[in-house]
Amino acid sequence: MKRLKKYINQNEWYLMGIILIYSIIVTTQNSGFFTLENFFDVLKGSSGMIILAMGILVVLLSGGIDLSFTAIAMFGGYSAARLMMATKIDNLAFAFVVSAVIGILLGAVNALIIHKFHLPTMIATLGTSSLFSGIMTTFIGTKTITVGMMPKSLRAFGGFRLFEMVNDAGSTYGLTVFIIPVVIVVVVTWFILYKTMLGRGVIALGNSEEAAKRSGFNLFWIRMFIYTYVGLLAGIMGVIYVAEVNSVYAVALYGTELTYIAAVVIGGAKLTGGEGKILGTLLGVIIVRLLNSTLVFLGLTSSWNGFFTGAVLLFSVGLTSYMSRLRSRRNLTFTD
């Protein structure tokens, strides 16, 4: 129990409680919810979000915020698909390499702008977000890629399952192959954050920039890592997204970045930096995805997505902020 306490904090227990109670409510309303098939569905739908969420967690830990990752993801995924169609190179690895390289380059642009000009990260990435999206749509194209045009390797990747089962109605379902990149990304992120000096530097930067500088961290390379890492993950997510939806609208993800950030924040990461955990982030993503994908089981249309996501977000940030407010009032500090 004590060991468990070390790994799971109070906020994460709350989140697990919410997930459990919500699942019970949905199950009583609709038995179709609590099945392995639905679990696999939710998992597949969450894959891209988990990958992006790991990147967002790294940025939030450093005390920054990135609004450009959806633009980067679309830039990478869409350009890779278009390039494959143009060059007739129908190879999945090629798609990932192209998208990842684009992601890293655009992330480096973010890092350079933020570090060299000391810009607030939110405003800087808001600017680069429109800039990247604008460059892509102006110079690469806006034509929707339909199922028929989609390169075969991407389509196969989107539909590939690690193992398959047959349900009562006779249709097959199974565990998506997306789980492999997801697990790799989560493990790598965990390793970097907790087992390397680089990761400690990210958290140090989030706690106090001045202290991080004085303890000898090279802030330029730390920022370079943070934003190129987000870029890289966005690039990977871009390919997964393209493979998943099978028909790509050029600015599809653009404008949804705040939902992703909301998921990470629900998971307990602080926008002020230095606080946030991988487990919490995963739980946050699960809550947002559950709300988005299971409202139909409660007889509500998808129009209610925003309402419930917003309500959960407000409730969770309201509660945690109020707790820390009470704490600081007791200590007679008035900083928040």
Partner 1 sequence: MITQMKKFIRQDTTLTVLLGLLIFLILLFGSILQDKFFSFDNIQSMGYQIPEFAFLALAMSIAMITGGIDLSVVANANMAGIMAGYVLTGAVFGLNSGMSDLTLVIIAILVALIVATLGGVFNGILIAKFSVPAILATLGTMTFYNGISTAITEGKGVVGFPDNYLSIGTSAPLGIPLVFYIFFIAFAVVAFVMVRTPFGQSIYLYGENRIASLFSGIKNEKMIIKTYALAGFLSGIAAIIMTSRVNSAKYNYGDSYLLQAILVAVLGGINPNGGRGKVTNVIIGILILQILQSAFTLFAFSPYAKRMIFGFMLLLIMVINFIIDKWGARSKSIAKDSEVVPQEAK
- Cα–Cα distance between 333 and 336 in angstroms, integer? 8
C-beta of 97 vs 271, nearer to partner 1: 271
Report whether 308 contacts 295 (CB < 8 A): yes
| Min dist. Cβ of residue 188 to partner 1 (A) | 28
Q: How many residues does the chain have?
A: 336
In the list 22, 173, 241, 308, the residue contacting partner 1 (rule: CB under 8 A) is 308
Site string for partner 1, 120-159 (x = CB under 8 A): x-xxx-xxxxxxxxxx-xx---x-----------------
Backbone angles phi, psi at 182, to 5 degrees: -60, -50
Site string for partner 1, 86-105 (x = CB under 8 A): --------------------
Is 281 a binding residue for partner 1 by CB under 8 A? The answer is: no
In 16-104 the beta strands, taken as DSSP E runs, fall at none
Is 313 a binding residue for partner 1 by CB under 8 A? The answer is: yes
Query: 3-class SS at 335?
Result: coil
Largest CA distance in the chain: 66
C-beta of 224 vs 313, nearer to partner 1: 313
In the list 88, 118, 214, 330, the residue contacting partner 1 (rule: CB under 8 A) is 118
Report whether 35 contacts 294 (CB < 8 A): no
Site string for partner 1, 221-260 (x = CB under 8 A): ------------------------------x---x--xx-
* Residue 28 CA, distance from chain mean position: 30
Report whether 69 contacts 260 (CB < 8 A): yes
Site for partner 1 in 6-35 (CB under 8 A): none
In the list 57, 59, 84, 113, the residue contacting partner 1 (rule: CB under 8 A) is 113
Report whether 113 contacts 170 (CB < 8 A): no
In the list 34, 160, 297, 304, the residue contacting partner 1 (rule: CB under 8 A) is 304
Question: Which has the closest alpha carbon to 68: 207, 188, 220, 233?
Answer: 233
Report whether 280 contacts 9 (CB < 8 A): yes
| Min dist. Cβ of residue 168 to partner 1 (A) | 32
Encode burial over 26-63: b for 16+ CB neighbours within 10 A, e otherwise.
beeeeeebeeebbebebbbebbbbbbbbbbbbbbbbbb
Q: Which residues bind partner 1 (CB under 8 A)?
A: 65, 113, 117-120, 122-124, 126-135, 137-138, 142, 251, 255, 258-259, 261-262, 265, 271-272, 301, 303-311, 313-314, 317-318, 321-322, 324-325, 334-336
